[in-house]
């Protein structure tokens, strides 16, 4: 979903996280590194802040989520993963994982990730 309006990110906000091994997790934002802003990204990948802008640029975030390892238990239950820091929004980072997205953007993020993987293989 292409965003033309920005929403402020908040600590405790629910997002989806795609790990570096391409597993998806429900996650909570634990830190926000800056404010979102609008920018124009040209075909060569450069970002321009002046003039007409059309792309939502979100800051990096730190995330916390429940471990995917069922054996990772402690006295409170399944262990939490808290070491994911400075994770980029999928809109600024075409990669095969290690990004976050809003829950309603997961299908678009998945599609973008698959396209990036296809490009890497060719």
Which tens digit of pLDDT belongs to each residue from 112-121?
Answer: 888 887 766 6
pLDDT tens column, 6-41:
678 999 999 999 998 899 999 999 999 987 776 666
CA–CA distance, 72 with 78 (Å, rounded to integer)? 6
**DSSP-derived 3-state class of residue 105:** helix
pTM: 0.78
Q: For residue 25, tell me if it sits in a domain.
A: yes
Q: For residue 110, tell me if it sits in a domain.
A: yes
Percent of the chain residues past pLDDT 90, beyond the cut: 43
- Structure token pair of residue 3: 């965003």
Q: For residue 44, tell me if it sits in a domain.
A: yes
Q: For residue 1, tell me if it sits in a domain.
A: no
pLDDT tens column, 38-86:
666 666 656 555 555 566 678 899 999 999 999 999 999 999 998 888 9
Q: For residue 96, tell me if it sits in a domain.
A: yes
Range of the domain at 47: 14-121
67: number of Cβ within 10 Å:
14
Q: For residue 33, tell me if it sits in a domain.
A: yes
Q: For residue 7, tell me if it sits in a domain.
A: no
Number of folded domains that form the chain: 1
Cβ neighbors of 59 (< 8 A, separation 6 or more) are 9, 32, 33, 34, 35, 36, 89
Return the pLDDT at 54: 63
DSSP 8-class letter at 22: S
């Amino acid at each position: 979903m292409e965003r033309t309006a920005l929403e402020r990110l908040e600590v405790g906000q629910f997002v989806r996280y795609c790990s570096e091994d391409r597993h998806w997790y429900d996650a909570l934002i634990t830190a926000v590194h800056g404010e979102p802003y609008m920018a124009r990204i040209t075909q060569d990948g450069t970002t321009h802040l002046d003039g007409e802008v059309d792309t939502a640029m979100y800051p990096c975030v730190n995330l916390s989520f429940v471990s995917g390892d069922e054996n990772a238990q402690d006295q409170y239950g399944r262990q939490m993963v808290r070491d994911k820091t400075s994770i980029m929004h999928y809109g600024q980072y075409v990669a095969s994982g290690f990004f976050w997205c809003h829950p309603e953007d997961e299908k678009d993020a998945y599609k973008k990730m698959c396209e990036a993987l296809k490009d890497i293989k060719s």
